[in-house]
Amino acid sequence: MDIHTLKGKRAVVCGATQGIGRAAAIELANRGADLTVLARDLETLEKLCSLLPAGNHQALAADFADNEAVRAAATHLASGPVHVLVNNTGGPAGGPIVEATPDAFLAAFRAHLVNNQILAQAILPRMREAGYGRIINIVSTSVREPIAGLGVSNTVRAAVAGWAKTLAGEVARYGITVNNVLPGYTKTQRLDAIIAARAKAAGKEPEVIERDMKAQVPAGRFAEAWEVAAAIGFLASPAAAYVTGVSLPVDGGRISAI
């Protein structure tokens, strides 16, 4: 058996229009999976499907700010086999936690944890039938070390990590694993926005902020999205069958904790 292939498997990748989500879809398709890509921009998703290696790929639209839209998409997904779920959506807006409104926390909680729960509940029966399941959550290194200026994100990411660890213990006996990937500074639109916000707040040029951020990373650079996707591909594969309940940093060594 090829322990790295996903041939014959159906993978659902959320937030696949750009960044890490898009790179994850490409990685899983390259491993042989049939993809269902899920986000609000159907046209961009369909274009992505046309670029993927040959397979039975599908685009499905849902706005992750709308739990009922995600629930409808989850019901559709549950009508067929699903072996891999990559939970991924845009992070909450930055800002100090002392300035965050209760509504900001609620919106982030619904967009991340609640949607994860909706999708997982819908497809777990399919994974149990198959005796194979991989739920992979794209979270943040803030699970280990909170990031200054991302108060709402730090809070909600930690909640997702706790949810995932609990779920992992409940479903492991069925051949289903649940893991988190913690991207460090990765070249995405999200990182561009963070750099711009920090530059504005500090009255500095974005290039200065970028240089200072890279100085915090032992590898001395930002990650490419495909490097994070490679970790996702491993966790989705048969090779990772005995890896569950972990939060895997892909951060160039930035986190100082063991």
Same domain, 35 and 59: yes
Please check whether residues 90 and 137 belong to one and the same domain.
yes
Residues facing residue 182 across a β-bridge: 249
Burial 35-68 (b: 16+ CB within 10 A, else e): bbbbbbeeebbeebbeebeebebbbbbbebeebe
Q: Answer whether residue 142 shows pLDDT above 90.
A: yes
216 and 121 within one domain: no
Same domain, 16 and 76: yes
Task: Print the SS3 string covering the chain.
Answer: CCCCCCCCCEEEEECCCCHHHHHHHHHHHHCCCEEEEEECCHHHHHHHHHHCCCCCCEEEECCCCCHHHHHHHHHHHCCCCCCEEEECCCCCCCECHHHCCHHHHHHHHHHHHHHHHHHHHHHHHHHHHHCCEEEEEECCHHHCCCCCCEHHHHHHHHHHHHHHHHHHHHHHHHCEEEEEEEECCECCHHHHHHHHHHHHHHCCCHHHHHHHHHHCCCCCCCECHHHHHHHHHHHHCHHHCCCCCCEEEECCCCCCCC
* pTM, entire model: 0.95
Average pLDDT, the chain: 96
Select the more confidently predicted residue: 2 or 42. Answer: 42
CA distances in angstroms from 217 to 184, 210, 243, 246, listed in the order given: 9, 11, 26, 22
- The enclosing domain of 133 has a CATH number of 3.40.50.720
- Is the pLDDT confidence value at 83 over 80? yes
Is residue 1 scored above 80 in pLDDT?
A: no
Residue 2 pLDDT grade (very low, low, confident, very high; cuts 50, 70, 90): confident
For the segment 15-30, the average pLDDT, to the nearest whole number, is 97
Is the pLDDT higher at 190 or at 37? 37
Task: Answer yes or no: do 38 and 139 share one domain.
Answer: yes
Whether 2 is in a domain gets the answer: no
Containing domain of residue 110, as a range?
A: 10-184+224-249
| pLDDT on residue 56 | 96
For residue 190, pLDDT over 90 is answered with no
Domain check: are 59 and 38 in the same one? yes
**pLDDT at position 143:** 94
Same domain for 210 and 148: no
Q: What is the rounded CA–CA span in Å between residue 160 and residue 144?
A: 13
Query: Has residue 3 been placed in a domain?
Result: no
Nearest to 15 by CA among 82, 52, 70, 55: 70
**Residue 69: inside a domain:** yes
4 within a domain of the structure (yes/no): no
Rounded-to-integer distance, Cα 3 and Cα 249, Å: 22
Q: Does 5 have pLDDT greater than 80?
A: yes
What's the pLDDT score for residue 38? 97
148 and 70 in a single domain? The answer is yes
Same domain (yes/no): 110, 206: no
Residues 146, 74: one domain? yes
Residues 117 and 216 in one domain: no
Please give the pLDDT value at position 120.
98
In the structure, what pLDDT confidence band is assigned to residue 54 with cuts at 50, 70 and 90? confident
Structural domain count, the chain:
2
Burial 163-173 (b: 16+ CB within 10 A, else e): bbbebbeebee
> Do 77 and 21 belong to one domain?
yes
- pLDDT confidence of residue 94: 86
Structure tokens at 9: 């498997």
- Considering only residues 57 and 93, tell me which one the structure prediction assigns the higher pLDDT: 57
Residue 238 included in any domain: yes
**pLDDT at residue 100 in the model:** 96
Q: Could you identify the residue written with the tokens 């499905």?
A: 60
The amino acid occupying position 109 is: F
- Lowest-pLDDT choice from 93-102, 162-171, 219-228: 93-102
Query: How far apart, in whole angstroms, are the C-alpha atoms of residue 16 and residue 19?
Result: 8
